[in-house]
Amino acid sequence: MAGARILTRAVTALGGTALLATAAVAATASPAGAAESQGGSVRICAAGTYDTSASLQATGNDQSWTTRIIGPGSCVNAPSSSSGRIDVFGYKSPSQFHVGSVDYKAGQTVVISTTGTTANPKVVVNGAGGGTFVKN
């Protein structure tokens, strides 16, 4: 509470409404939001009728990764500490096919899901920009 009084006095002394708005936003930022921006998470889900995997081709000195093949109705978590392009693949025995790609920045929170069928595969991306993106 003492911090709020000092903040109010500083704003009053400076007469700044914009400063008050900025201070209010900073004061109400949640610890969960701060942790998310630093750590983030990547979740890959197979929501279609086919198996799915994903791989990140890292940029710079970041580390690349590949998930295991996951069956329909399943999800896996992937590392979120590297930036690069995430390629999403589908499987129709015995072949692998490319479903889509997503540019990923380390620390973002994103859920990438494959949907549809092998005849009409799609990738749906939630997060990493606040919205949903569907690629057919």
Q: How many domains does the chain have?
A: 2
Instruction: Give residue-wise pLDDT tens across range 73-106.
Output: 999 999 999 999 999 999 998 899 999 999 999 9
Rounded Cα gap, residues 43 and 78, in angstroms = 6
Q: What is the DSSP letter of 136?
A: -
DSSP 8-state secondary structure symbol assigned to residue 61: T
Whether 8 and 56 share a structural domain: no
122 neighbors 96 (Cβ within 8 angstroms): no
75's tokens: 């999800």
- Residue 60 is predicted with a pLDDT of 87
pLDDT at 32 (0 to 100) = 40
| CATH classification at residue 130 | 2.60.40.1430
Question: Per the confidence metrics, is the pTM higher than 0.85?
Answer: no
Two structure tokens written together for 129 = 């920009």
**For 4-39, how does the pLDDT look when each residue is reduced to its tens digit (9 = 90+)?**
333 333 333 334 333 332 233 233 333 343 333 457
Are 106 and 126 in a shared domain?
Answer: yes
Give the number of residues written for the chain: 136
What is the reported pLDDT for 133? 52
Of 128 and 127, more confident? 127
- Asked whether residue 17 falls in the same domain as residue 67, the answer is no
Distance between CA 116 and CA 9 in Å, rounded?
A: 58
pLDDT in tens, 57-69: 999 889 999 999 9
In this structure, the answer to whether residues 81 and 48 fall within a common structural domain is: yes
Cα separation, 83 vs 20, whole angstroms: 35
Structure token digits, residue 20: 């008050």
Cα–Cα distance between 30 and 34 in angstroms, integer? 7
Residue 91 is predicted with a pLDDT of: 97
Do 51 and 23 belong to one domain?
Answer: no
